[in-house]
């Protein structure tokens, strides 16, 4: 059974967290909520979400991929060195790295998007381009093991690509 980490921080966009979390579980994957600390986090709209495991680079080998939701959480996640190293390691191992909305900020800090086709929320287009990526503006973009999407409306198509990648790799 494949194991996927869904990252969590305060001010996460709840729908971008909940939808992939349950969609991946529906497909039979083991899904864990990883965060810098085990505690209750508050979503953008106030929903409490509990992290069930502390993100630790020592556990990176247990995972087949990571999903990074948006909201304001990515700005907090990108400040954590363990988060960045976790994402870099998964990416360099050819495992799934999925990011939606503002989550490509984390990919920028991880320095894994140079020369890659990437999409994200339109307000971070300049950030994505300045990091050397090719910003497509497509609802969903797949470039190797990197899957990105613009916003919640893109999530059904994004999750189809995420699930396809996990089943084929």
89 in active site: no
Annotated active-site residue in 101, 113, 128, 149: 101
pLDDT at position 158 is 98
pTM of this prediction?
A: 0.98
* 81/169 Cα distance (integer angstroms): 27
pLDDT tens digits for 72-115? 999 999 999 999 999 999 999 999 999 999 999 999 999 999 99
Mean pLDDT score across all residues of the chain: 98
C-alpha distances (whole Å) from 2 to each of 6, 12, 94, 154, 169 are: 13, 24, 14, 24, 10
pLDDT tens digits for 9-33? 999 999 999 999 999 999 999 999 9
153 in active site: no
Of residues 108, 4, 8, the one with CA closest to residue 50: 8
pLDDT at position 120 is 98
* 3/115 Cα distance (integer angstroms): 28
Q: Does domain 3-168 have CATH number 3.40.640.10?
A: no
Mean pLDDT over 32-37 rounds to: 98
pLDDT at position 85 is 98
The domain locations on the chain are 3-168
Mean pLDDT over 49-72 rounds to: 96
Annotated active-site residue in 76, 78, 95, 102: 102
* 71: region left, alpha or beta (phi > 0 left; psi from -120 to 50 alpha): left
Q: Is residue 66 within 8 Å of residue 96, measured between CB atoms?
A: yes
pLDDT tens digits for 120-136? 999 999 999 999 999 99
């Amino acid at each position: 059974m494949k194991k996927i980490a869904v990252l969590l921080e305060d001010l996460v966009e709840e729908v971008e967290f909940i939808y992939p979390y349950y969609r991946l579980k529906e497909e039979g994957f083991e899904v864990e909520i990883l965060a810098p600390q085990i505690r209750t986090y508050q979503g953008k709209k106030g929903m409490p979400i509990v992290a069930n495991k502390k993100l630790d680079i020592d556990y990176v080998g247990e995972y087949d991929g990571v999903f990074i939701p948006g909201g304001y959480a990515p700005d907090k996640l990108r400040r954590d060195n363990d988060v960045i190293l976790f994402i870099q390691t998964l990416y360099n191992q050819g495992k799934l790295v999925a990011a939606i909305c503002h989550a490509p900020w984390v990919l920028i800090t991880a320095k894994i998007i140079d020369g890659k086709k990437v999409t994200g929320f339109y307000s971070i287009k300049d950030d994505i381009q300045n990091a050397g990526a090719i910003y497509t503006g497509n609802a969903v973009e797949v470039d190797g093991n990197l899957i990105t999407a613009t916003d919640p409306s893109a999530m059904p198509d994004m999750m189809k690509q995420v699930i396809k990648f996990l089943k084929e790799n």
